[in-house]
Each structure stands twice: as C-alpha cells, then as structure tokens.
Amino acid sequence: MSYVNERFFLDTLAMKQIHRLKPQFGYNGFGEITYYRSYSREILDDLDEVIGQEHWADTVIRVINGVFSIRKDWNIRNRIGWNEEGMQAYAFEMAIALFQMHWLPPGRGLWSMGTDLIYERGAMALYNCAAIKIGAYWVEDLSWLMNTLMWGVGVGFKPERIDLELEHPTFGYKHVIDDTREAWCESFEALCNAYIDPEYGSPEFDYSMIRPEGALIRSFGGLASGPGPLMAMHEDMKAQFEGYIEGTIDVVELLTNLANLIGVCVVTGNVRRSAQIGLGDFSDPVFRHLKDYSKFPNRKSFGWMSNNSVYLDSDDDFMNLDMIAQANIEGHDLGYINLRNLPKGRIRIGEHDTKKDIGTLFNPCGEIILENKEVCNVAETLPTRCTDIDSWLRACEYATFYCSTVALLPTHQPETNAVVMRNRRIGVSIIDFQGWKLQHGVCEVTNYLRRGYNAIKAFNRKLADEAGVPESIRVTAIKPGGTVPKLAGRTSGIGHPTFSYTIRRIRVQANTNLERLLIAAGIPHEPDHYSKQTTTFEYPIIQGPAVPATEVSLWEQAFDLILIQREWADNAVSNTLYFKPKWALVGQGSLKDLVQDLTINGINIGRLYQDGAVWFESGRHRVSFDYEAEEYKVYCFNPNHEEDMVEAVLSHIAPLTKSVSLLPHSDMGFMPQMPEEGITKAEYERRLAAIKPIDWSTFSGSDGQDERFCQGERCEINPAIS
C-alpha cells in the first residue's frame, strides 16, 4: 500500500531558477560539510539507478516536492480540490526561502522528505520524537519504543510502578531473527515472554540472517552494525531479569534499564539518530536516583542513554527543589517537569490557551509535551538570516505549512495515528534567539515573538479549515536544533554559544568519498574514540555574535527561558541552564601516561599517583583518581561559582516554566573528542588558514549519515562504545 499516490513537481522554470542560486552555508564552510555528510542523497532514475549526487538546490527541490505531494494527495484523496497553478507559485516562494535558510525543516525532513521511504512507508521517519508510558502491557510498550527508535525517532518514556511477576524459563527453542526492524523487536518480545510464562520457552537466537557489519543500509542511510548490538542486548536483558527475580533490581529500575538497553542497541546499530528521556515521579524512591551511579553502579554502562527528569506536582514536590539542585551540582543530571503547567499553552499571567493539553509526557530534548504514543513534528525559523521582520513572518508561515502538512500523513502505527489525528500537534521553533536579541534588544524581540505566534496560529487555523481537520492543539516550541543550525552557521535554540573561537568535531564514515575529500583539504582528523569505521575531523569555527555561555549568568539564562515560555512556546522550551561549578575541570589524562615528575597547575600528579591517593586537595586545586577507568582529573576552585544560586533560581522560575534542565559549565570536555572545544583566536586563524578549498562537484556515493545521538546541549552523548 502506498501512503502517497499523487505527486507534485516544481515546474522546470522554477527548478532552473533555484539551481542558479548560490547557497550561503555558515561557519566558514563547516555548514557545507555538515550538509554533504548528513543530508545530501544519491539521485536515482526511474529504475533506481544512481545518476548523480544531490547539491543544496536538489535537496531543496526534493523537500518542497515531498511536502506538496503529501498535501496534494490529501486534497485529491478527500475530494477537496487542488489549485495547481496557485500551489506552484507558493511552492516556489517557499523553496526560495528554504534555499536561503530563512526556515529549515528538521534534519529528518531534509534527509527523508520527498523520498520513496516516506511515500511507501508513511510519516514515521519525518518525526523527531515520541513518548510512551511503560505500564501493564510493558512488553508491547517497550517493543513500540524499540520500533520507534529504529526509525530514528527519539522517545521519552515513563516507567510505571506495576505488579510484575517473572520466572526462570524452563526449556529452549530455536528463534531465527530476520533482517528487519520488526524482527529485532520480535526477538525482544520473545525474550521477555520467556520470563513471563515458563511454558513459553526461552528463545535460542539464530542471528545468521542479519546483514553483516559494514553492509550498506540503502533505505535508511549508513552502514549496518551486524548482529553484535542485538546479541549484547539479549545478554544484558537476561541479567536484568535475573536481578529482578533475585530481588536486587526494583520494577521501575528494571523497566528503565530495559528501555536504556534498547536505546544502546539501536544507537550502536547505526540508526541515524536516537535519544531518550526517562520520566518519573519525584516521590519515587528509586527513579530520582537512577543517574547516581554511586547508588546504581550497574547502570553506568548504559544509564547514559537517557536524560532523566522528575515531575513536580504536589506541594511537597516543589518544596524539594533543593534536592534537584544538589543532584545537578553533584553531576547526576536531573531535570524537572512542572506537571501543573503542562495543560496550559504559553505561561501568561491571567491568559492561557483555551484548548487544554492532556499530555503528560515529554520528548527527549524537552520542547514538546506528548500523550501516550504521540509523535512530535517540528521545523525551525532563522530570524537572523531573514532580511527583516516581514521575511521572518513569511518564514514562520512556511514552517507552519511544512509541519501542518506532515501531520496529514499517517505513520505505520495505528495507535499513534489516532492521537496525531486528534491533536495535529506541531512545533515551529527559532534558531539563534541570542543573536536576534543582540541585534534588536529584548523589548523589540518580545514584540516580534507575539506577532510571530499570532501569525502561526492564524495560518495553522487556515490550513486546517482548508484540509477539513482540527487546528493544531499546540503550534510553537523551542527545539535544541542540533545539526541543522550548523548549516546556516547559527546557534541552536535559545542557548548561548559554548565558546567563541571553537573546534567543532564532526564524525564521518571511514573509507568514503567524503572522508577522502576532507583529508585532502587538510582538515585535522583521527580515528573516532567511540565508533568503529568512523573518523573524527576537527574544524575551526567562530560562534556568535552572542557572548559564550561562560560569560552569561545563570539568572539571565533563566529569565530568557521565562520570556520564551511566556511569549512564544505554547508547547515547551528545550533548555539547559549552565551554572559555573565550584570546582572547574582544568586537566585530565590517563594513569598509564603518568610519570613521577608530571606537574599540572603546580601539583605533582605522578607522585600522588604513586602514593595511591584517590582524592588530593591543595589550596585551589583538587586531583581525583579513577583506578577502574585508569584516568585522573585536575580541578581548580572558582571563587565566582554559581552553585549557591542553583536552588534559588529553580525556586524563582518553577511556577513560570514547564521543564528545566541544568549542567555545570566546563571549559574542558569530560570525555575525549567532545563535539566542541574552545581555542584561542590565534589557533583558530592558524587552523583555518591550513584548510584547502573543497571541490564538492567531485562528491558522490553518499546517501547521508547523521549523528547517532540527539544533538541538544543536554542529550548529545558520547558513550564509551565501539
């Protein structure tokens, strides 16, 4: 069955005009590298033979053709009528604005919109995120989570405290796993069922049908991982079930662990992007501590897969904001969700949207409220790329058209379709809010936000009336952006740049034409620390013009969040409030490299290591030794730290926000090959001068490769996997 039968194609003259334009990628060419790495696809003829490689104009045309094909199919299928001439004119205007990056679809849309994957299999690959409650039907719920992640959709999940009885399997049987998404999910279900009902039997898996490691994934991009990640997940699942039967693992921990293990399996299986957020009650004695690996050391190898946030609902919950503050100061990554504000739209005193939202779940990056098994659909506008306020308002309209159209196309999941058809939820977002604020000031930007929101609401209502569907329950959000803002050379969402002069790292599949082009251009590179068959390149960029996060107070960040939640986002705002830690990381290394006379910041690290110290403090410095990981870290005391402010900030803003997350800011990454690293102006200029121009006309043989992880500040994760 085809999901889209009618097709739309920009006319020949329009396509010629688009091809004459010159794209303006950002960050001195890094945006162009990001485009060709992630979103440029092979061009196929009618016989599916490769006849070329997409350049930016080709991708723009494919995306516009895809959006208008979905709407044309809807209109004709429902006997609404279709004005081809009028739509050709509007599609051309929308394409020009997309080419100029006044608005952008999400990365998923840039890669898959207008492809046979969408026409033949439905909308799931276009959605950014989803959410699910893991309850009484926990096996089916987790299987839905796995299937959704395997489409590259990030998933929020809430493990319910259910009554669960498990037993040891009594006999075995052979289970052959086919090379499909559905078969991987079925293998998960089979192993769960073995512990639910001893008479079901324990599957003895045959992995021989799964394509080998390194094989091309034609429909979804990237290279296959082979059966390794699935085999590892199965073994880890058995350990979790055994722990639960023996009473060492709680039911909420079990369900969270299973969700995280699924995430690890999927993300190491080279899916384009996967991310998770775990949601739980603050009062739950287990959930709120799951990111504290001193309490749950067995989770350290997979607990990184999800951010975790707790609900604030009762008066007692709000009285415990100091505990959330302390958890983040200690590095345990715990956000909060204000359950009382979720039914509202924008948080405005005495004024709320009349349409009540019954969603209580969240997507991994925290910008969309969702119901059970609902998916979210977003696009972005770039006011600092637009020429004036009127061109930005038109960009808001185009982004609304994109999102509202995607919501017309069903997914392959009937339960999901039922929610989408009722809510039609979309999220038009903003890139580079800080740059915009710097250009025009808070007062003027506040006025623009109000005008933009009203324009989006009105246009969404017009589109809904024309299509004969309900208007969207919510229409605006602030997403973290991730890869897409890099195309235009702009800062994601409402956040400040991490640094001014910056090394930006990008991961590229080894032994590909793209890798060879980047090496020939003289871009520094090394084998990726975490992934096989991957090379990490380092590219110098300047972030801005807004000042970096290190120069912005926690209070100012908090007030920006309140402003956007009040004037723009009737969904929510993806945010990470950075605070300056009391002890800042200033040096780190491997214990294997230590020698007796190694000195950092006046501290003889080698001698301390030989003395066997675990912690050492001397004046303004501390040194920690992790003998299991075989590494050391050096910290320096920051007299201007903000740790004492964290609880006060949370207490002030909790009534005016829907979700909040925090991170201690560090000039130095805590792991190798961090996505961004600050450098000096001289180092930036030296690196940039050494890079040669790239002739992209010779680029070919790629169908796109995205980052494996959600790209928000809080959810871009670099786990120690291989």
The token duo for 604 is 């003889």
> Which is the catalytic residue, given 32, 54, 253, 367?
367
- Give, rounded to a whole angstrom, the gap between the first and last alpha carbons of the chain: 38
Q: Residue 124 in contact with residue 394, Cβ under 8 Å?
A: no
- 663 beta partners: 578
Burial class of residue 591 (count of CB atoms within 10 Å of its CB; 0-12, 13-18, 19+):
middle
Backbone angles phi, psi at 64, to 5 degrees: -65, -45
Contact between 71 and 408 (Cβ < 8 Å): yes
In contact, 543 and 502? CB cutoff 8 Å: yes
Q: Determine if residue 54 is left, alpha or beta; phi over 0 gives left, psi from -120 to 50 gives alpha, anything else beta.
A: beta
Q: What are phi and psi of 84, to 5 degrees?
A: -60, -45
* SS3 assignment, position 156: strand
Does residue 365 have an active-site annotation?
Answer: yes
- What are the distances in angstroms from CA 54 to CA 57, 109, 110? 8, 15, 12
| Rg, Å, the chain Cα set | 25
583 three-state secondary structure: strand
Q: Are strands 129-134 and 154-159 parallel, antiparallel or unpaired?
A: parallel
| Distance, CA of 551 to CA of 434 (rounded, Å) | 13
Please give the Cα distance from 722 to 710 (Å, whole number): 18
Structure tokens at 570: 């009737």
CA distances (Å), 58 to each of 3, 272, 536, in order? 23, 21, 27
Residue 556 tokens read as 């100012």
Coarse DSSP helix, strand, coil percentages of the chain, rounded to the nearest 5 percent:
40, 20, 40
Residue 367 designated active-site: yes
Determine the 3-state secondary structure of 57 from DSSP: helix
Closest of 504, 542, 517 to residue 673, by C-alpha = 504
- 177 closest CA partner among 197, 154, 203: 203
Q: Is 224 helix (H, G, I), strand (E, B) or coil?
A: coil
Alpha-carbon span 93 to 58, nearest angstrom = 16
Give 363-420 as a DSSP string. -TTS--EE-TT-EE-EEEE-TTTSSSHHHHHHHHHHHHHHHHHHTTS--S-HHHHHHH
Could you give the CA distance from residue 471 to residue 474 in angstroms, rounded to a whole number? 9
| Catalytic option among 365, 376, 386, 710 | 365
Give the residue numbers annotated as catalytic, written as ranges. 365, 367
